[in-house]
Amino acid sequence: QQQVKQSPQSLIVQKGGISIINCAYENTAFDYFPWYQQFPGKGPALLIAIRPDVSEKKEGRFTISFNKSAKQFSLHIMDSQPGDSATYFCAATAYSGAGSYQLTFGKGTKLSVIP
Amino acid sequence: DTAVSQTPKYLVTQMGNDKSIKCEQNLGHDTMYWYKQDSKKFLKIMFSYNNKELIINETVPNRFSPKSPDKAHLNLHINSLELGDSAVYFCASSLQGAREKLFFGSGTQLSVL
C-alpha cells in the first residue's frame, strides 16, 4: 500500500505554542521519512527528514518523532511563529528501481499560527 | 540563480488545446520529476526520469507525455486538455539516490476553461 495518512487537515496554533502533525503508513518498504514545507505560490521544500532506525531528530524548533513498531511519525514545531504558517507534508520514500526512489506524500496540513 | 525553473508560471487555455510546460534545473541533478497538485493540495507523482530514462510512469492519461532532451531539462506536453487537468504542476529534481531531498520548482498553475 503506497499510502501515507496525515492528520489533521488544518491546524490553528497561537504564537509560542506547539504545533503537532501526525502521519501513519502501512508499507514496510518505506525507508526514509521527510517533511516538506510549502508556502503559498511556492513549491514544497525539504524541512527535516528521519531514517527509520532513529526515534527522534531535532533541527532548531522542528522535531520528528518516529515510532517504527506503530508505523507512525510526527512533526513537532516548538515555539510556533506566524512565519511558520504554511502547508506541511509528511512523506515516505521507497526504492523504485534503477537507482531511484519514489516519494509518496501525505495529503498535507495547513498550519496557521495566530499572533 | 533559480535552481529549478518552470515556465510558464500561469497557463490558461481552452479545452481540447495542446500545451507544454518547460522545466530546467541547474543543480547538476540526474533525476527529474513531474508532480501534480490538485485543488486540495494533494501532491501526486506523475513521472520520474533518471539520466533521461523514464523510471516512474504513474497511472496518467497518455495525453500527458514527458520529454527529456538532456539531464537538465524535463518538459511536459499535454494533448487535448480537459477540465480535470486544471491543477498546479511541479517539476522537481534530485541527485540519484538522494531519496528524501527533492528540489521543487515554483509550479505552473494550469487552468482549463
pLDDT digit string (tens) for B74-97?
A: 999 999 999 999 999 999 999 876
Q: Which residues of B touch A (CB under 8 A)?
A: 4, 31, 40-45, 48, 50, 53, 55-56, 90, 92, 96-97, 99-102, 104-107
pLDDT above 70 (res B21): yes
Is residue A94 a contact partner of residue A2, using CB atoms and an 8 Å limit? yes
- A2 pLDDT tier (thresholds 50, 70, 90): low
Cβ-based neighbours of A85, under 8 Å, separated by 6 or more: A111, A112, A113
- Higher-pLDDT residue of A94 and A20 is A20
* C-alpha to C-alpha distance for A48 and A42, rounded to whole angstroms: 18
Pairing label, strands A56-59, B43-50: unpaired
Nearest Cα neighbor of B53 from B35, B74, B28 is: B74
- B1 pLDDT tier (thresholds 50, 70, 90): low
First-last CA distance in chain A: 40
Closest approach of chain B CAs to the CA of A56, in angstroms? 17
- Interface contact A43-B43, CB threshold 8 A: no
Residue of B nearest to A47 (CA): B101
pLDDT on residue B30: 87
- Interface contact B90-A43, CB threshold 8 A: yes
pLDDT above 90 (res B108): yes
Q: Which of A41, A46, A89 is closest, CB to CB, to B100?
A: A46
* C-alpha to C-alpha distance for B31 and B56, rounded to whole angstroms: 11
- B59 pLDDT tier (thresholds 50, 70, 90): confident
What is the per-residue pLDDT across A48-94, written as a single tens digit (0 to 9) for each?
Answer: 999 989 999 999 999 999 999 999 999 999 999 999 999 999 999 98
Average pLDDT across chain A, whole number: 93
